[in-house]
Structure formats: structure tokens, C-alpha cells
């Protein structure tokens, strides 16, 4: 349970960053410069900004009731106690007052849809590429894959996104070919059927999968090379098995173990790895939510997303550890 | 001075039919030899060096070769294609794309090197101190690194862009490099710490300690040179990643903003003009791609040269 202090530390530091900015914030001041002092007091009270910082922090965590239980009710001084992080309440947007938890839940599905599709595409293509590269080591095909993989790591994903938009939407349109949609998760009018969703998903998911593909295919290749040199593979061949059966049944199973670990390590990235692709393709997920929040100076939303993302990273790392131990029984976590 | 022994060795080995042993070389000279003979790596090095030189000479080039200021607007020349006057065309304000790309290299290189330098300094100091002292110090610093690595960098950058802690902005090159370094030293410190743990066990450290060397002297005079190879590898593999990340930030509008031309914010701008100019979309991305690829391949070559085991 090393992760709890880490999360607590993250919450303190991020809260302090926000507190340093939000201290003198008055909601609506930018709309009306002539707010009366008593209105300023009332507005700040309404969103709890008149509370001392430590009380705001406890309230944000959702443990402010402790103060009352501890018999220190006098310290509360009329501040309201509300639910917080520990009860799954990420607070409210400082701009429009909407619940951040429900805003996140509304977008989480889109982000997961995009990243999971990309990961599936990545795995499905990385395995054959890696196997072919290993079986024909040193051949022109293998060298081409190696070059393509270095290129795939160096190419900025947002640029690949722009180039695919240019090709599949702009140029296809000019050439009178059927163009693919490049913005949003479904057509605004009359969209939403599976085919429409799939068409919207095609470009962003493919572009996102390139990054995974470039790295994973290398791991499959080196895993395969290592396994093919082992005794049990030779035994299988000696028993007269067909080449195909040896490679695809006996060797491949062990060759992709490192890949499973890598995918496990990718779990935290499920929620933030797609941010820039979401922005390029106007995908209504969490990354785009974060960007629009920072553009609107909606600081409580940014804070909530940071803490939410960090919790997912910590949970993802735990899951990856468990997955690793399940796959490889030699690994034991005390 | 070693002539006699060398000739002796040579004859002995020649009789075995093996190659004569070359004269002994230092680790660094051997590494340089390995790097020099890696033609692929040297080619990548030449590419990034030439990008760097072009960026360094940007004011000279724009005055004498392209004849345009990166921000000079000529509204009559909107969206010019490739021509003798504008080798790579112009943008929506009639600014010369080639000149802007050359100036963009300055920002990418400045931030790339500054960020890696700063994060290497922080990361190695923390790594050396944590690895050398161990115990409570190691645990506390390790927990700090855990925290840093737990927060998704994208959201943390967004948070910093929204709050400007300590007056750090993300839309000027030097503060942005500081922010990126402050967020990016975690991995370096872990690697350096691991290396220090192994160096610390060697006999020469015990010997140095026994003649009364202080902790600081041990750490920075004796351990540091022995983890330098790891530090150089981490640094040379890091620059490409930083350039990529910084371009991404510029692209989403949280990094360097116009009018300062950068490859990332030029791409952001190009998004609005898909139908006017293909070149505006292609050129800046290609620059990022070639620069990052060059740094990654050169970094690989340096790693292979310094640590052939890792190959």
C-alpha cells in the first residue's frame, strides 16, 4: 500500500498550486467590474472561497466532517461541509458550477473507446509484423520494418493526424472520393448508428495505434528471436512438427509475454495518452475537456482531472504489477 | 614506453594466429572509436548538427539568403506556393515559411538542450544523493520521484499552464524548459541511483573512504565520473523526446505562442488552412520528424558506443 501516501502527496501539491492562483478569485468579476464589496463577499462565500485554505483542502478531500467530530465545531464558523474526493465527488467547475464527476463520466467512455480500439489495432498488427521480422531476420523486409519503427517513434502523432486529415478528408474530397469524417465521435445530425461511429473512430484510432505499433512490434520481434533459439522449439521441430505449428503455437505463446506486460504498463496511458489526438480530431474525451478547461481558466476542472489521472496511473501500475505476477510466477511481490 | 611488451605480445599472438593486440586505450577513446565507425549514427549526428548550425545562423540566413524577416507580413503574397521568391511558400499573412522554419529550429534546440541539461542536473544530483546515502534519504527521495511519475505529464502541464506557480509560464522558451525539466527528471534519477548503488560497492570507494574522503568528495569526485556514461546516454536519448513534447505543447496552444515561430505553433496555425496550402501542413511536421529521428538515432549510436552490452 505504498500508493496511498503518493496520492496524498499529489493531492497536497496540486491543491497548493491551485490555491496560490485562486486565492483572490471573484466569480463573475470579469463580467461586472462594479461588483459591490458585499456582493463579492457573498459570491466568494457561495463557492467556499472565504474558507481558510486548510478547511478548503479537507472539504475538497471530503473529510471536513472530521473537524466537527473532533469537537472543534467552533472552528467551522458557519462554513458548509460538503462531499469530496473520497466519496467520488471531484468538486464543481468554478466557471459554470457543473459537477466535474458527471462531466468526466460523460467523456470517459469516449476516451476509452478511442484508446482501447487503438490498442487492439496495435496488438493485431504488431504481432504479425514482429513475427515476420524475426523469421526473416536481416532480410529487406526486416530492415524496412526496423526503419519504419524508428520513424514511427520519431513522428509527432498530432502531425500524422493532420496529414491523414489532409489526405482522407481534404484531398479525397477534392478527388471526389468518399471522404472520412475528421471531427467528433458521431455526426451532429442523424448520426450515432454503429457505421457512423465506426467511420468517426477510424482515423483517430488508427493514428493513435501507430505509436503503440512502432514499439510493440519490436518487442514481439526480439521476444520471438529469443524463443526460437530455445531447446523446446528445437524439440518440437525434431518431433517433426510443421514449421507453421512450431512458430505459431509453440513459440508465439512465449514470445508475446513481454508484450502483455507492455500493454499492462500502457493502462495508465488509457486515460491521458490520447489527449493530443483527441484535440486534433475534436474527439469529445478527457484530453479535450482538459484543454477547453485550461482555455476557459476553469482551474477546479484542471485540478480534478490531474488528481483523477494520477489515481488512474497508480491503479494502473498496481494492475500491471498483478498482471505481471500472474503471467510470470517467478515474480513475487512481498 | 610499452614498445618491448607490445612487440612481445604481438609475436606471441601472431603465432596463435590471432590479431595483434592494439595499444591500450581509455574507455572514452574506445567509445569514440566505436561511435566514429557507426556510419548510420554519424550520419544522424551530421543531420542534427546541420539543423543546429542553420538555426544558430538564422539571423544571417534570413538577411542574406532568404531575404525575409520571419514575422514580415506581405498580405498580397498570401498562401504563395513554391517559387523562387519563397522557396517553401508563404502562410496566411504572407510570411515566408522557410525563414519561419529556420527560426523554429532555434526554439526547438534551445528547449531541447536546456531541458535535458536541467533535468540531468536535478536527476543525477537526486540519484547520486539517494543512492549514496541510502536508508531514509533514499526512501524520501524515492517517494518524491514516485509522486512525480504518478501524475500524467499532460495534465500536470495543463495545471501549470493554468496556475503559473512561482511565475513560471509555459509560453516563453526558458521558463518552459524549466517546467519541462522540473517534471522530467524522475526517470534520470532512478537510472543514476541504480548505477550509483553498484559503483558504491566497489573497492576503490572503500579505499577512498578509508583515507578520509568526505561524502561530498566521494559523491562528486569519485562516483560521478563513474556514472557519467549512464548520464550521457540518458541525455542523448532525451533530447528528441523533449523536442517532440514541446512541439506538441506549442501545437495545442499551451507552449510558445505566435508571433515567435516554432514548428509546433506553425502546425497549429496550419490547421485552419487545409484548403489553402498543403505545404503549411507538411513542412513543419517534417522538420520535427527529421530532427527527432536524428536525435533518437544519434542517441542510440551513443548508447551503443558507450555501453556495447546494451546493444
Distance from CA of A309 to the nearest CA of B (A): 6
In the structure grid, which three cell numbers stand for residue A9, read together?
A: 502527496
**What φ, ψ does residue A315 adopt, rounded to 5°?**
-65, -40
Within 10 angstroms of residue B179's Cβ, the number of other Cβ atoms is 24
B280 chain-A contacts, CB cut-off 8 A = none
CATH number of the B40-310 domain: 1.10.3720.10
CB spacing of B248 vs A165 below 8 angstroms: no
Q: pLDDT class for A236, splitting at 50, 70, 90? A: confident
pLDDT reading at B118 higher than 90: yes
On whether both A77 and A177 belong to a single domain, the answer is no
On whether both A82 and A179 belong to a single domain, the answer is no
Domain ranges for chain B? 40-310
User: Is residue A260 in some structural domain?
Assistant: yes
C-beta separation of A48 from B189 below 8 A = no
On whether both A52 and A160 belong to a single domain, the answer is no
* Span B18-64, pLDDT tens digits: 666 777 788 888 888 888 888 888 888 999 999 989 888 878 877 77
Which H/E stretch holds residue A127? Answer: helix A100-135
| In chain A, residues 251-280 whose CB comes closer than 8 Å to chain B | 268, 271-272, 275-276, 279
| Residues in a beta bridge with A99 | A92
Residue A220: its pLDDT value, please?
87
Percent of chain B with pLDDT over 70: 92
- Rounded (5°) CA angle A205-A210-A216: 120
User: Is residue A249 in some structural domain?
Assistant: yes
* Span A95-114, pLDDT tens digits: 888 888 889 999 988 988 89
| Domain stop point among A87, A119, A153 | A87
Task: Provide DSSP, B202-258.
Answer: SHHHHHHHHTT--HHHIIIIIIHHHHHHHHHHHHHHHHHHHHHHHHHHHHTTSSS-T
On whether both A12 and A154 belong to a single domain, the answer is no
Distance from CA of B109 to the nearest CA of A (A): 16
On whether both A58 and A118 belong to a single domain, the answer is no
| In chain A, residues 146-165 whose CB comes closer than 8 Å to chain B | 150-151, 153-156, 158-159, 162-163, 165
User: Looking at the 3D structure of chain A, how many domains does it have?
Assistant: 2
Measured CA to CA, the distance from residue A83 to residue A112 in angstroms comes to 27
A7 chain-B contacts, CB cut-off 8 A = 150
On whether both A72 and A125 belong to a single domain, the answer is no
Distance from CA of A69 to the nearest CA of B (A): 31
A154 chain-B contacts, CB cut-off 8 A = 240, 244, 289, 292-293, 296
CB spacing of A7 vs B161 below 8 angstroms: no
Residue B115: its pLDDT value, please?
94
User: Is residue A24 in some structural domain?
Assistant: yes
On whether both A194 and A72 belong to a single domain, the answer is no
CB spacing of A2 vs B146 below 8 angstroms: yes
On whether both A79 and A119 belong to a single domain, the answer is no
User: Is residue A164 in some structural domain?
Assistant: yes
Length of chain B: 311
Range of the domain at A41: 3-87
| Domain stop point among A87, A118, A145 | A87
pLDDT reading at B255 higher than 50: yes
In the structure grid, which three cell numbers stand for residue A95, read together?
A: 466557471
User: Is residue A93 in some structural domain?
Assistant: no
CB spacing of B158 vs A2 below 8 angstroms: no
ipTM: 0.81
Amino acid at each position: 500500500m505504498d500508493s496511498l501516501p503518493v496520492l496524498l502527496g499529489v493531492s497536497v501539491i496540486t491543491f497548493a498550486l491551485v490555491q496560490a492562483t485562486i486565492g483572490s478569485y471573484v466569480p463573475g468579476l470579469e463580467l461586472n467590474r462594479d461588483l459591490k464589496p458585499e456582493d463579492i463577499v457573498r459570491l466568494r462565500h457561495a463557492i467556499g472561497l472565504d474558507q481558510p485554505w486548510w478547511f478548503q483542502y479537507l472539504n475538497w478531500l471530503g473529510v471536513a466532517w472530521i473537524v466537527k467530530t473532533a469537537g472543534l465545531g467552533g472552528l467551522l464558523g458557519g462554513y458548509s461541509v460538503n462531499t469530496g474526493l473520497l466519496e467520488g465527488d471531484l468538486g464543481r467547475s468554478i466557471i459554470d458550477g457543473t459537477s466535474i464527476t458527471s462531466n468526466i463520466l460523460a467523456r470517459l467512455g469516449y476516451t476509452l473507446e478511442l484508446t482501447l480500439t487503438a490498442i487492439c489495432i496495435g496488438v493485431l498488427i504488431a504481432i504479425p509484423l514482429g513475427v515476420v521480422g524475426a523469421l526473416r531476420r536481416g532480410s529487406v523486409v526486416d530492415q524496412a520494418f526496423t526503419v519504419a519503427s524508428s520513424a514511427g517513434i520519431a513522428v509527432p502523432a498530432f502531425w500524422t493526424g493532420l496529414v491523414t486529415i489532409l489526405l482522407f478528408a481534404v484531398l479525397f474530397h477534392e478527388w471526389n472520393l468518399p471522404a472520412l469524417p475528421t471531427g467528433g465521435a458521431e455526426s451532429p445530425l442523424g448520426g450515432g448508428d454503429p457505421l457512423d461511429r465506426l467511420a468517426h473512430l477510424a482515423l483517430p484510432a488508427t493514428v493513435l495505434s501507430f505509436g503503440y505499433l512502432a514499439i510493440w512490434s519490436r518487442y514481439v520481434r526480439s521476444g520471438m528471436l529469443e524463443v526460437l533459439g530455445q531447446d523446446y522449439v528445437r524439440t518440437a521441430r525434431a518431433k517433426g512438427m510443421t514449421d507453421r505449428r512450431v512458430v505459431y503455437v509453440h513459440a508465439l505463446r512465449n514470445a508475446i509475454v513481454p508484450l502483455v506486460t507492455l500493454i499492462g504498463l500502457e493502462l495508465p496511458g488509457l486515460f491521458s495518452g490520447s489527449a493530443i489526438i483527441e484535440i486534433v480530431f475534436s474527439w469529445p474525451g478527457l484530453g479535450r475537456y482538459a484543454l477547453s478547461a485550461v482555455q476557459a481558466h476553469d482551474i477546479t476542472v484542471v485540478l480534478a482531472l490531474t488528481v483523477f489521472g494520477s489515481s488512474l496511473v497508480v491503479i494502473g501500475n498496481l494492475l500491471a504489477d498483478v498482471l505481471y505476477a500472474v503471467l510470470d510466477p517467478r515474480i513475487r511481490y512481498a | 614506453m610499452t614498445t618491448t611488451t607490445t612487440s612481445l605480445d604481438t609475436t606471441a599472438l601472431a603465432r596463435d594466429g590471432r590479431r595483434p593486440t592494439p595499444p591500450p586505450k581509455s574507455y572514452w577513446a574506445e567509445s569514440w572509436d566505436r561511435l566514429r565507425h557507426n556510419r548510420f549514427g554519424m550520419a544522424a549526428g551530421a543531420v542534427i548538427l546541420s539543423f543546429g548550425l542553420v538555426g544558430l545562423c538564422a539571423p544571417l540566413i534570413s538577411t542574406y539568403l532568404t531575404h525575409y524577416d520571419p514575422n514580415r507580413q506581405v498580405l498580397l503574397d498570401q498562401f504563395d506556393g513554391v517559387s523562387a521568391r519563397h522557396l517553401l511558400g508563404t502562410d496566411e499573412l504572407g510570411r515566408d515559411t522557410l525563414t519561419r522554419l529556420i527560426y523554429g529550429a532555434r526554439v526547438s534546440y534551445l528547449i531541447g538542450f536546456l531541458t535535458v541539461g536541467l533535468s540531468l542536473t536535478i536527476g543525477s544530483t537526486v540519484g547520486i544523493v539517494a543512492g549514496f546515502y541510502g536508508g531514509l534519504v533514499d526512501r524520501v527521495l524515492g517517494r518524491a520521484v514516485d509522486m512525480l511519475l504518478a501524475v500524467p505529464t499532460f495534465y500536470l502541464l495543463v495545471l501549470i499552464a493554468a496556475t503559473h506557480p512561482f511565475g513560471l509560464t509555459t509560453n516563453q522558451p526558458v521558463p518552459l524548459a524549466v517546467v519541462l525539466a522540473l517534471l522530467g527528471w524522475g526517470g534520470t534519477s532512478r537510472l543514476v541511483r541504480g548505477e550509483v548503488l553498484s559503483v558504491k560497492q566497489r573497492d576503490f570507494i572503500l579505499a577512498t573512504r578509508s583515507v578520509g574522503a568526505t561524502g561530498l568528495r566521494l559523491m562528486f569526485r569519485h562516483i560521478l565520473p563513474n556514472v557519467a556514461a549512464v548520464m550521457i546516454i540518458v541525455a542523448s536519448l532525451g533530447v528528441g523526446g523533449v523536442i517532440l513534447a514541446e512541439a506538441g505543447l506549442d501545437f495545442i496552444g499551451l507552449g510558445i505562442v505566435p508571433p515567435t515561430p516554432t514548428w509546433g505553433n506553425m502546425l497549429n496555425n496550419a490547421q485552419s488552412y487545409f484548403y489553402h496550402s498543403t505545404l503549411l501542413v507538411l513542412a513543419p511536421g517534417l522538420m520535427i520528424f527529421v530532427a527527432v529521428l536524428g536525435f533518437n538515432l544519434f542517441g542510440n549510436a551513443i548508447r551503443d558506443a558507450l555501453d556495447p552490452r546494451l546493444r
